[in-house]
Structure 1
Amino acid sequence: MMKNIFYFILFISSFANAQHVIKGTMNPKIETDWVILYKIEGTKQIFVSNTTIKTDSITLSGKKQAVGRFEFKLKPDAKPGAYRVNYRTEGAGFLDIFYNKENISFIFNPDYPEQTVSFSKSSENKLYQEYVETISKAQEKLDSIQIAALQNPKLDLKTRYINAFNKVNVVQNKYAELSKEKYIAPIIKASNQNNSAEILTSVEDYLFKVKNSFFNNLDFNKKTLINSSFLTDRIVSYIFYINYSDDSRTQQKLYKEAIDVVLYKINNQPYKRDIIEFLIVQFEAYKNLEIIDYLFENHYNKLPETLQSQKFKSEKIALFASEIGRIAPDFSWKENGKSFKLSTLNDAEKYVLVFWSTSCSHCMREIPELHSYLKNKKNIKVIAFALEDDAFVWENYSRTNLYGWHNVLGLNKWQNETAKTYQIFSTPSYFVLDKSKKIIAKPNEIDDVMEYFNQE
């Protein structure tokens, strides 16, 4: 009897500590030979494992097709969650799946991963894929009727709309029931779009409904939603697409309002920090300094100090220090024994700050052109910041050819601290400053400088 109990315990233990496998097949195989598995946690991807893609072949319609196969063996203590299979650094290069203590096997086209994936193993992913396909068809039908009513309010579409509305609810309720006790249950619940019970004939009413009910079924504190791309994707949709205007000033106002709405809903402070940092990076791509400043001043800086990353803040502040709209970073120099600071210069209405070098052939062509062009423009002053390895050539050249300018020597060339602050990677680099030293333009070359002042 004791022997039987012993084997029973071993049998149960083997299941508890079983290694599960994720198997993928790319059809067709791509040139990349690697694939990486991440676990999604908040806005971050946590590395799990990497492996190689092996070439194999399958027969389709009587023809052999080259495919790529890969396999990940998860550790026994691998946690349920959303995982990302990444096989490219850009473009359509990843596929998200759900793991919940079961083997997963799937085939997909690497160029269209979400649209083509088909699971042969994994009850979680099969059910979720079935749900997405079914609810999408039902929702598209409902949306098409709603759009027709907005385009022509005189059409009698009420009955068709109610039937389509009921169909969406039937599908939603069906899969909410089927997904009970499964990992994907909160995601299916959160996917409910909260459609209007009655057809709307006013565009304003429709947009108001969409905007004000967008988050009704989302629990911002649900770990399943936080640790997947689902919640982050919804936040992006709300801020960048639901709140949209063609007018730039209105758009900035909408961005701020949408950000406030989203961040007010998040009680999980570490996740709130991650979302703020994520949004700062998104707006960084558009160089939207006003919104980046707003995120820092009104949200990031108000987080508990233990959650704030000083490294992140300093990196982002430095990254945009020399963008249009910013006060030009200050620096000091000496001319004829006198000390000068950029911030206290007061001898012109506008300034051209140019980073150049005597070893730069483009500079040696453009700098004389700039000197000739501006020599009679008394309201414009040039600060010529020379990036040099030594002072010898610069001293002779600037003294002879660049009279009337503020000439600054920056030793250590590319490693010069001021050059790094201004993110200078090539010379010549031009900045136009107003009287208060705010950056008002960043011309690419000498012709752009002249065009800027010719238009005044």
Structure 2
Amino acid sequence: MKKIYTLSAVLAAVVLQAQFTVAIQAPADFKDQDAILYTLSGSKDIVVTKEQSKNNTWTFKYPKAYMGMMKVYFPSSNNTVSFISENKNVSIKLDVQNNKVKDVAYLDEANELMSKQQEGSQKKELILPALSQIKEYYKDNTDFGQALKTEIARLSGTSTSMDAAKHPFISFYNTNYSKFLSNTSDATKKVNQDEIIDFLDKSNDLLESSSLLRPVLVAYLNSGGNTNVAGSVDKILDRLKVETPRGQTVLSELIDIFDVYQMDELKNKYLTLAKNLKCTINDRLASTLKSNANVEMGATFPNTKFQSATNTTVKSLHDVKADKKVVVFWSSTCSHCESELPKLLEKYNDLKAKNIQIVGLSLDVDKASYTSRIAAFPWINDSELRGWNSSYVDAYNVHATPTYFILDANNKIISKPEHVGDVLEYFKAK
């Protein structure tokens, strides 16, 4: 892990060298003023700071050393621009059309190199297999056959040469993505669980900021099959030790993975393990514990201020007065929502007659799509129009749509139905 320097002069020099800037340029017709800078911890975006545009440029100063994935989010237009930092200045220029980012030009060396290598890797994984199949139907002595042969040779070659010492993060990402996550039919190149555990145990801090942690953990769980998932998890946690920051971050990621895939028994087992830890807990695990505590049975459902709620004049969720409330997180782009919410609509008048209020909190992005859909919903509707960047996601531990909660008159959680049928069954409204 990180070395601790004891000499104050050395520490001061490191701090001065570590500061870098992220500069994002946009054309004059880009309307956003605010932008938010994020770093990464495992699979969780961490807010760093918020800046306003000055002459269509956002400049973020990062005060300490950081290598890894970053992103800038523009909340007004819901644009996101992802990039990397190698603890050096980042410079990006946006091409915008109708206030949406159409293209991104990476002007600094590290991001330009990473972009080219990512493009090459995508072509190698997606296009090369198709070209190899097509080539079977064309002879080498034809112009097209020769062109295919040339392109296959080019894509099959090694990636752009790179100095690993000069670009440590790119080297770390590419090497380990290729080893643990790239698709390969060659059984000799497939890694086993022990190799993955060794990688997770011995990697430096770049692992948490690389975006590789969660997909590698999913690959680890898949490599062990479905017969003894708990045994696989216990094996990795025993090696990493849950008292360590790395062990706690992995534990947090595993809890979230089990939540996403609705593996409730495993989620509850390892969430209980996390709750019972007596050591100091790192921020990543603390955020998982808080999100889950917010939505435990019997907990007071966290309040949220409405942005521009329809069918009500109240200002927040807790201001909604009813004997019971059904809170549903949904989206106009969610196919399950499209099939489930009409069933809720059919029984709306029956529920309303029992003083049961429905509150729909949308994870939509497109305002037109959201507005069109809620025209049919007579209950309270609201949305931040930030999709999965919405504050709802962390506050209410939302991993999928639709997600339902039933609250009593005091906003305590009294049921967490899995489907609309469970909601209607709870109120005997089927």
Paired residue secondary structure (2:166): coil
Distance 1:210 1:445, change over 3 A: same
Paired residue secondary structure (1:124): helix
Q: Does the 8 Å contact 1:80/1:183 carry over to 2?
A: no
Matching residue within 271, 281, 289 for 2:246: 271
Q: Does the 8 Å contact 1:20/1:102 carry over to 2?
A: yes
In the TM superposition, 1:435-454 aligns within 5 A as 443-445=422-424, 449=428, 451=430
Say yes or no: does 1:78 pair with 2:64: yes
Say yes or no: does 1:186 pair with 2:206: no
Matching residue within 405, 409, 415 for 1:414: 409
Question: Quick one: distance in 1 between partners of 2:22 and 2:290?
Answer: 40
Q: Which residue of 2 aligns with 1:319?
A: 295
Q: Which residue of 2 aligns with 1:23?
A: 23
The structure having more radius of gyration, on CA atoms, is: 1
- The number of residue pairs the alignment matches comes to 301
Q: Which residue of 1 aligns with 2:51?
A: 51
Question: Quick one: distance in 2 between partners of 1:143 and 1:214?
Answer: 27
Question: 1:384-410 CA deviation, whole Å, 9 max, x = no partner?
Answer: xxxxxxxxxxxxxxxxxxxxxxxxxxx
Q: Does the 8 Å contact 2:27/2:94 carry over to 1?
A: yes
Distance 1:261 1:126, change over 3 A: farther
Q: Which residue of 2 aligns with 1:331?
A: none
Q: Which residue of 2 aligns with 1:222?
A: 203
Q: Which residue of 2 aligns with 1:39?
A: 39
Question: Quick one: distance in 1 between partners of 2:115 and 2:76?
Answer: 25
Q: What is the Cα-based RMSD across aligned positions, in Å?
A: 5.5
Distance 1:277 1:224, change over 3 A: closer
Same amino acid, percent of matched pairs: 13
Question: 1:294-341 CA deviation, whole Å, 9 max, x = no partner?
Answer: 3225x5367553338789647625624379xxxxxxxxxxxxxxxxxx
Paired residue secondary structure (1:321): coil
Paired residue secondary structure (2:178): coil
Question: Quick one: distance in 2 between partners of 1:96 and 1:35?
Answer: 15
Q: Which residue of 2 aligns with 1:386?
A: none
1:443: Cα distance to partner?
A: 3.7
1:106: Cα distance to partner?
A: 3.3
Matching residue within 290, 310, 318 for 2:265: 290
Q: Does the 8 Å contact 1:226/1:271 carry over to 2?
A: no
In the TM superposition, 1:59-74 aligns within 5 A as 69-74=56-61
Paired residue secondary structure (1:294): helix
Paired residue secondary structure (2:111): helix
Q: Which residue of 2 aligns with 1:436?
A: none
* Counterpart residue identity of residue 306, structure 1: T
Q: Does the 8 Å contact 1:443/1:449 carry over to 2?
A: no
Q: Does the 8 Å contact 1:138/1:167 carry over to 2?
A: no
Say yes or no: does 1:231 pair with 2:216: no
Q: Does the 8 Å contact 1:221/1:266 carry over to 2?
A: no
In the TM superposition, 1:5-404 aligns within 5 A as 20-26=20-26, 31-53=31-53, 69-74=56-61, 77-82=63-68, 83-88=70-75, 93-107=80-94, 116-120=103-107, 122-141=108-127, 143-144=129-130, 170-172=157-159, 175=161, 177-184=162-169, 185-193=171-179, 209=190, 215=196, 218=199, 220-235=201-216, 237-238=218-219, 256=230, 259=233, 263=237, 266=240, 269-284=244-259, 287-297=262-272, 300=274, 305-307=279-281, 313=289, 316=292, 319-321=295-297, 356=323, 365=353
Question: Quick one: distance in 1 between partners of 2:261 and 2:183?
Answer: 38
1:72: Cα distance to partner?
A: 1.5
1:79: Cα distance to partner?
A: 1.5
Q: Does the 8 Å contact 1:34/1:52 carry over to 2?
A: yes
Q: Does the 8 Å contact 2:35/2:52 carry over to 1?
A: yes
Unaligned runs of 5+ in 2: 1-12, 135-149, 300-321, 325-348, 356-407
Q: Which residue of 1 aligns with 2:147?
A: none
* Counterpart residue identity of residue 109, structure 2: S
Paired residue secondary structure (1:188): helix
More off after superposition, 303-312 vs 225-234: 303-312
Distance 1:420 1:440, change over 3 A: same
1:125: Cα distance to partner?
A: 1.4
Distance 1:92 1:440, change over 3 A: closer
1:104: Cα distance to partner?
A: 2.4
TM-score (norm 1): 0.48
1:128: Cα distance to partner?
A: 1.5
1:51: Cα distance to partner?
A: 1.3
Question: Quick one: distance in 1 between partners of 2:193 and 2:131?
Answer: 21
Question: 1:216-259 CA deviation, whole Å, 9 max, x = no partner?
Answer: 9955543353242422342365278x5799xxxx5xx5764664
Question: Quick one: distance in 2 between partners of 1:318 and 1:18?
Answer: 37
Question: Quick one: distance in 2 between partners of 1:300 and 1:275?
Answer: 11
* Counterpart residue identity of residue 183, structure 1: P
1:91: Cα distance to partner?
A: 6.8
Question: Quick one: distance in 2 between partners of 1:254 and 1:91?
Answer: 41
Unaligned runs of 5+ in 1: 1-12, 56-68, 149-162, 324-354, 368-412, 425-430, 432-438, 452-456
Distance 1:17 1:143, change over 3 A: same
Paired residue secondary structure (2:279): coil
1:25: Cα distance to partner?
A: 3.0
Distance 1:34 1:314, change over 3 A: closer
Question: Quick one: distance in 2 between partners of 1:80 and 1:165?
Answer: 37
* Counterpart residue identity of residue 280, structure 2: T
1:414: Cα distance to partner?
A: 2.9
Q: Which residue of 1 aligns with 2:375?
A: none
